[in-house]
Amino acid sequence: MNLNSNFQLLKESYLFAEVGARVRRYSEENPDKKVIRMDIGDVTLPIPAAIGDALDGAVKDMLSSSTFHGYGPEQGYAFLREKIVEADYAARGVQLGADEVFVSDGAKCDVGNLTDIFGKDVIVGVPNPVYPVYVDSNIMCGRTVENGGIRYIECDRENEYKPVVPGEKLDVIYLCSPNNPTGTVLDKEELKEWVDYAKEHKSLIIFDSAYEAFVQDPTLPKSIYEIEGAKEVAIEVRSFSKTAGFTGLRCGYTVVPKELKGTMADGSEVELRKLWLRRQTTKFNGASYLSQRGAEAVYSPKGSAEVKANIDYYIRNSSILHDGVTALGLKAIGGKNSPYVWIQAPNGLTSWEMFDLLLQRCQLSCTPGSGFGSNGEGCIRLTGFNSFENTKLAVERLADLRL
Amino acid sequence: MNLNSNFQLLKESYLFAEVGARVRRYSEENPDKKVIRMDIGDVTLPIPAAIGDALDGAVKDMLSSSTFHGYGPEQGYAFLREKIVEADYAARGVQLGADEVFVSDGAKCDVGNLTDIFGKDVIVGVPNPVYPVYVDSNIMCGRTVENGGIRYIECDRENEYKPVVPGEKLDVIYLCSPNNPTGTVLDKEELKEWVDYAKEHKSLIIFDSAYEAFVQDPTLPKSIYEIEGAKEVAIEVRSFSKTAGFTGLRCGYTVVPKELKGTMADGSEVELRKLWLRRQTTKFNGASYLSQRGAEAVYSPKGSAEVKANIDYYIRNSSILHDGVTALGLKAIGGKNSPYVWIQAPNGLTSWEMFDLLLQRCQLSCTPGSGFGSNGEGCIRLTGFNSFENTKLAVERLADLRL
C-alpha cells in the first residue's frame, strides 16, 4: 500500500540520542568523573505529597465496584475542568467556560494532533529556534520550509530571540512563552502585537504555555487570554508536566474558546472548538482517571503550595545558572521566569563545540542550541531541572574553566 | 484561517447520547422502575487486587527522588513490552521483538491515529456494521463512501456477519475479531483468506483484537499473527481496557512487525514500523508510568488469575444472555467468545423500535444495531458487562415479554 510520503521530508533528529551517546562515551572513558546532566528538559523532583494522596485515593476508587471509574468523558472530568477554569483563568481575570477546556494526556499530543483540524493549504509560521514538534507535525501534513508551507518567523537575537511580527500573512502561528528553548517570556505588549496581527490576518495562534508556572514577574502574562480579544484568535496549550512533575503521569489541557472561528472550503464559519471536540471524541478516549485526580490535587491548598515550592526550587537553580554564567562574562537569557537558560557560546564556538568543551572540561552536559534550528547555532541550553547542589557545582566548574 | 473541511463530511453520531436520553426520560417518568443498562460497552468490575498493588507501588515510586519516573520512552517501557511479547505472543507460538510493540494510552487512539501514516490516495475497506472510529478517522482525511475512498466490505448475515473477501483491490482493511458490535470471531481459515488477499493485493490489514481475552474456544485465533505470513500484511491493535478493566486507566498497544512494508510515492519500500515510531515519537509522549506498571501486573501469576476470573464472569453473563434469548426463539450470535450478544429483532422491528420495546416493557437498555451502520438495522447489541444478578433478571424479563 501507499504510505504517507511526507514522512520522507522529515529530518531525522539525533539531538538527544547524540547527547546521550557522547555523555555515555565520556563516562565510560572516565569512570571516576560524574557528569552533571543539564540537557534534557525533564523534571527531577518527586511528585508532591498532596498529589500522591490524590493518586492513592484514585487507585482506591478503582478497587471498589461502587467507586470504580471506567470510560471518562473524552474532554476530561468536569471536576478538573472546573478547577482549571477557576484557578488558572478566573483568578487572573480571564472568564472561560469549562466546556472550552479539553483535558488530555499531554501538551505534546495536543500540539501535534492540532494539525488534524487545519485546512490543507494553510501556511504556518514557526520561530527559530523552535520546539521541533511544531515543525515535524506540519511536515507530516506535507508542509515544509522548502515548499513554503512552513515559514520561519524572524527572531530578534538582540531582543532575546523574541519573534518579530512579519509583513506577510501567516495562517497559523506557533508561539511558546516562556520559551523552550530560549527561556524568553513575551510581555503583554508583545503578545498584543501578535493578537492584533492575528485579528488583522484572520490567523490562528497556537500559544504553548507549558512553562507558565515558572513566570515569577507579576507583570508578565501567563495566558494569552490576558490580552483582550485573544479568545477570537488563539488556542492555548498547557501541561501539568513541568508545573507539577507530571512528565511520567501524563496530563495536560488545551483551551479552545467558543469565540474562535475558522472557515470551511464552502465559506461557512465554524467554531474550532466543535472541530476539536469531534477530533477528540473520535480519536481519543480521555486521560487516565488517576492522572486527572492527581491534577485536581494541584489546585488544593496543600497541593498548590507544594507545587509552588518545587517551581521555586527549579527557578532558584536556573537563576543561579543565569547569574553564574553572566558573572563569567557570557551572554545568557532566560532562567528567571523559565527553567531554561540559553547561553551564547564564547569565541565563536559552535553549539556542539561548546557541548564537547563543557562535557570534557566541566563534566557538564547541555543541549546544543543548533538542535532547535539554524538560529540556535552558537548557543546552548542549560536547565534548572537538577539538584541545588549540582547546580552550584556546575557553576563552580564553569568558573574554573575561565571561558 | 481555513479549517479541515472534511469534518463537514462526518455524520453527527447521537447513538449513545440518544440511548442515554431515552433511558433518562423513562427513569424520570417511572421513578419506581430500575433500568438494567446493557448498552454501553464499558467494564463494570473493579480493578483486580494485583493491579491495584502494582498501581500503589507505582504511586510510591513517584513520591521518592530515587524511584521517580519522568518522561518514559514514547514506545513504552521495556518491562511491559517484553511481557507482552512473551505472554501474549511467544506463548501462542508467535515470535515478535519487543521493538515491534508500541504501548499507548489506548486502542482507540492508535486506531484513529494510524491514518497519519497512510498515503493520501488509499482506499480503505470497512465491514458493516462497524466500530465508527474506523470510518470517522478516515473521513477526517477526506475519504468517504460517496467518493469511493471508503468501501463497505460485504458481511454475510447468514454467516454471523463475517466479512467476505472482495473481488476489488482495497489498500487498507479493518478487521475486528472478536467483533464489536456483533461478537463474531473469525477462525483461522477465515483469517487466512484475508491474509492471502492482503498478500496478493499488497494491502494492509488493521486487526483490532481489543476483545481477544474473551476468546474461550482454543481453536480460535487471538492474534492475526497466528496465521502464517500475517506479519507481512498486518498491524494488530490491542487493549488492556476490556482485558483487565483499564477503560479508566488507559493502556493499550499496537504491534507493527518489521516485515510489514509499504511504498512511498517515489516507489521506495519503507517499514511501517519506522513510520509509526516517527509518528509516535513526534506526536505522543508515552503512556502513564502508573498505567504501564498496572498493565505489567496483568501478566503476574496473581494478576492473570484475577483477570481471567473477571473475563469468566463477563463471559458467563454474555453466554446466559445468548442462551436466554435463543431459548425464546430469537436469533442471536456472539456471547460465547465475546462480551457482546447481537440479536435480531423479531417481527421486522427496527433497531430503535426494539430498543423502545425493551426499555418500556423490560426496563432493559440495549444499543440499537443501526447505530453501527445500515447493515445493523433490525438488530440490537447487549453486553455481558453487568452483574450476574442483573443478567439473570434481564433474561427473566425478556422471557416474560413473550416476544
pLDDT at B173 over 80: yes
Residues of chain B with C-beta less than 8 angstroms from the C-beta of A172: 1
CA distance A208 to A316: 23
Tell me, what's the pLDDT at A272? 98
Contact A209, A236 (CB under 8 A): yes
- Mean pLDDT for B290-314 is 98
Q: At B7, is the pLDDT very low, low, confident or very high (cuts 50, 70, 90)? A: very high
How much is the CA Rg of chain B, to the nearest whole Å?
Answer: 21
CB contact under 8 A, A122 and B1: yes
CA distance A276 to B91: 41
Smallest CA-to-CA distance from A172 within A147, A221, A196, A207 is with A207
Long-range contacts of the stretch B294-297 (C-beta < 8 A, 24+): B294/B47, B294/B51, B294/B54, B294/B55, B294/B58, B294/B240, B294/B244, B294/B246, B294/B249, B294/B251, B295/B80, B295/B103, B295/B240, B295/B244, B295/B246, B295/B251, B296/B54, B296/B79, B296/B80, B296/B83, B297/B50, B297/B51, B297/B53, B297/B54
Q: At B401, is the pLDDT very low, low, confident or very high (cuts 50, 70, 90)? A: confident
CA distance A117 to A111: 11
Tell me, what's the pLDDT at A208? 98
CA distance A234 to B1: 12
Tell me, what's the pLDDT at B140? 98
pLDDT above 70 covers a percentage of chain B that reads 100
DSSP state, residue A266:
T
CA distance B126 to B83: 31
The partner residues of B368 in beta bridges, in order of sequence, read B380
CA distance A244 to A229: 29
A271 at the B interface (CB within 8 A)? no
H-helix or E-strand spanning residue B376: none
pLDDT at B286 over 90: yes
Tell me, what's the pLDDT at B284? 97
Q: How far is A348 from chain B (nearest CA, A)?
A: 32
Residues of chain A with C-beta less than 8 angstroms from the C-beta of B46: 62-65, 68
Tell me, what's the pLDDT at A260? 98
Contact A158, A211 (CB under 8 A): no
**Averaged confidence pLDDT in chain B:** 97
Residues of chain A with C-beta less than 8 angstroms from the C-beta of B286: 248, 250
Tell me, what's the pLDDT at A386? 95
Tell me, what's the pLDDT at B49? 98
Residues of chain B with C-beta less than 8 angstroms from the C-beta of A272: 3
Grid cell 513520591 is found at B63
Grid cell 508536566 is found at A241
Q: At B81, is the pLDDT very low, low, confident or very high (cuts 50, 70, 90)? A: very high
Tell me, what's the pLDDT at A231? 98
pLDDT at B350 over 90: yes
How far from A58 is each of A368, A389, B251, CA to CA, in Å? 41, 35, 16
Please give the grid coordinates belonging to residue A311.
517551581
Residues of chain B with C-beta less than 8 angstroms from the C-beta of A113: 113, 283
For the stretch A170-199, pLDDT in tens is 999 999 999 999 999 999 999 999 999 999
B204 CB-near residues (< 8 Å, 6+ apart): A1, B171, B172, B173, B198, B233, B234, B235, B260, B262, B272
Tell me, what's the pLDDT at A17? 87
How far from B232 is each of A31, B169, B195, CA to CA, in Å? 45, 17, 9
Smallest CA-to-CA distance from B181 within B401, B388, B377 is with B377
> From start to end of B129-256, where are the E strands?
150-153, 155-156, 162-163, 172-176, 204-208, 234-239, 252-255
Tell me, what's the pLDDT at A159? 94
Contact A137, A170 (CB under 8 A): no
pLDDT at A267 over 90: yes
pLDDT at A256 over 80: yes
For the stretch A202-253, pLDDT in tens is 999 999 999 999 999 999 999 999 999 999 999 999 999 999 999 999 999 9
Tell me, what's the pLDDT at A351? 98
Residues of chain A with C-beta less than 8 angstroms from the C-beta of B287: 105, 250
Tell me, what's the pLDDT at B16? 86
CA distance A177 to A114: 18
- Mean pLDDT for B374-397 is 97
CA distance A269 to B93: 55
Smallest CA-to-CA distance from A198 within A231, A161, A151, A238 is with A231
The partner residues of B342 in beta bridges, in order of sequence, read B333, B381
A90 CA to centre of own chain = 22
pLDDT at A13 over 90: no
Q: At B14, is the pLDDT very low, low, confident or very high (cuts 50, 70, 90)? A: confident
- Mean pLDDT for B188-197 is 98
CB contact under 8 A, B266 and A5: yes
Name residue B212's amino acid: E
pLDDT at A145 over 90: yes
CB contact under 8 A, A262 and B3: yes
Nearest CA in chain A to B288: A249
Tell me, what's the pLDDT at A202? 97
- Mean pLDDT for B367-391 is 96
The partner residues of A37 in beta bridges, in order of sequence, read A365
Contact A290, B290 (CB under 8 A): yes
CA distance B37 to B22: 12
CA distance B227 to A253: 42
Residues of chain B with C-beta less than 8 angstroms from the C-beta of A288: 105, 248-250, 288, 290-291
A264 at the B interface (CB within 8 A)? yes
- Mean pLDDT for A30-43 is 94
H-helix or E-strand spanning residue B354: helix B351-362
Half-sphere exposure of A61 (CA within 13 A, CB side): 18
Please give the grid coordinates belonging to residue A177.
512563552
- Mean pLDDT for A371-380 is 96
> In this structure, are strands B36-37 and B364-365 parallel, antiparallel, or unpaired?
parallel
Which residue among B46, B65, B275 sits closest to A7, beta carbon to beta carbon?
B275
A269 at the B interface (CB within 8 A)? no
B133 at the A interface (CB within 8 A)? yes
Contact A125, A165 (CB under 8 A): no
Q: How far is B112 from chain A (nearest CA, A)?
A: 5
CA distance B69 to A42: 10
B286 at the A interface (CB within 8 A)? yes
B337 CA to centre of own chain = 13
CA distance B330 to B311: 25
pLDDT at B112 over 90: yes
Contact B88, B215 (CB under 8 A): no
B347 at the A interface (CB within 8 A)? no
CB contact under 8 A, A264 and B62: no
CB contact under 8 A, B272 and A3: yes
Which residue among B5, B40, B64 sits closest to A264, beta carbon to beta carbon?
B5
DSSP state, residue B345:
P
pLDDT at B119 over 90: yes
Q: At A70, is the pLDDT very low, low, confident or very high (cuts 50, 70, 90)? A: very high
Helix (H, G, I), strand (E, B) or coil at B361: helix
Q: At A14, is the pLDDT very low, low, confident or very high (cuts 50, 70, 90)? A: confident
CB contact under 8 A, B71 and A266: no
Other beta carbons less than 10 A from residue A356's beta carbon: 15
Contact B58, B260 (CB under 8 A): no
- Mean pLDDT for B321-327 is 97
- Mean pLDDT for A138-151 is 98
CB contact under 8 A, B249 and A289: yes
If you count them, how many residues does chain A have? 403
Residues of chain A with C-beta less than 8 angstroms from the C-beta of B62: 46-47, 52, 55, 248-249
SS3 content of chain A, % helix, strand, coil (to 5): 45, 15, 40
CA diameter of chain B: 67
For the stretch B238-268, pLDDT in tens is 999 999 999 999 999 999 999 999 999 999 9
A243 CA to centre of own chain = 11
For the stretch A227-240, pLDDT in tens is 999 999 999 999 99
CB contact under 8 A, A248 and B172: no
pLDDT at A403 over 90: no
A42 at the B interface (CB within 8 A)? yes
